[in-house]
Amino acid sequence: MGAKRRETVKLNAVLATEVRGPKTGSLRWMLLTTSPIETLEQVIDVVDGYTYRWRIEEFHRAWKSGGCNVEDTQLRSREAIQKWATMHAAVAARAVRLAQLARTRPNLPATEEFTQPEIDAAILLKKGRTKYRRGSQPPLGDMVRIVADLGGYTGKSSGGPPGPTVVARGLERVAVAAEILELLARK
């Protein structure tokens, strides 16, 4: 074994404090970065970049242990594992995106993020326990809730809106049903 090498790295520090947050518990971040912070724009870029950390954490949770369980593969070849992981990464990224959009832009048309066969499949899988019927175009927030319900969301454990894990589980069910609907439509 070789000697341990040490490297000196110049770090910049940014202290970001939430201005209009709750009186108790406002966010306060001390961010260390190698990025330049000479202008206000550069400082804002550092803080803005850090805000994506939470979404990246959600992606990893959905990909590894949430709806995708990417580590549960029994594949052995490197190429097969890469394809498996990539496919599940796409599902996890979509689940994180949908959960975020359902919170921030719930009134978007569901057709912005879902195909009509996916919408119809989710509605059919709900077995009449929704106000929507085949051919409907619900708002995105409602559609994500339907998908999350299919993934096991009850709203009881967290009390909050559905997260990427239940959305990913629901997407798996919807994908199969949508594929069947598309095949039946071609006949």
Q: How many CA atoms lie within 13 A of 168 on its CB side?
A: 27
| Cβ atoms of residues 127 and 108 within 8 Å | no
Q: pLDDT for 82-116, tens place per residue?
A: 888 888 888 889 999 999 999 999 999 999 999 99
Verify that 36 and 92 share a domain, yes or no. no
Distance CA 9, CA 165 (A): 38
How confident is the model at residue 2, as a pLDDT? 61
Residue 174 belongs to domain with CATH number = 1.10.740.10
- Residues 6 or more apart whose Cβ sits within 8 Å of residue 65: 71
Q: What is the dihedral of CA 48, 51, 53, 57, to 10 degrees?
A: -150
Q: pLDDT for 138-152, tens place per residue?
A: 999 999 999 999 998
Q: pLDDT for 123-182, tens place per residue?
A: 999 988 889 999 999 999 999 999 999 998 988 766 778 989 889 889 989 999 999 999
Q: Which domain holds residue 140?
A: 59-186
Distance CA 127, CA 95 (A): 22
Distance CA 69, CA 169 (A): 10
In a domain, residue 3? The reply is: no
Tokens representing residue 20 in the block: 């209009």
In a domain, residue 6? The reply is: no
Verify that 72 and 160 share a domain, yes or no. yes
Q: What is the DSSP letter of 108?
A: S
| Cβ atoms of residues 95 and 168 within 8 Å | yes
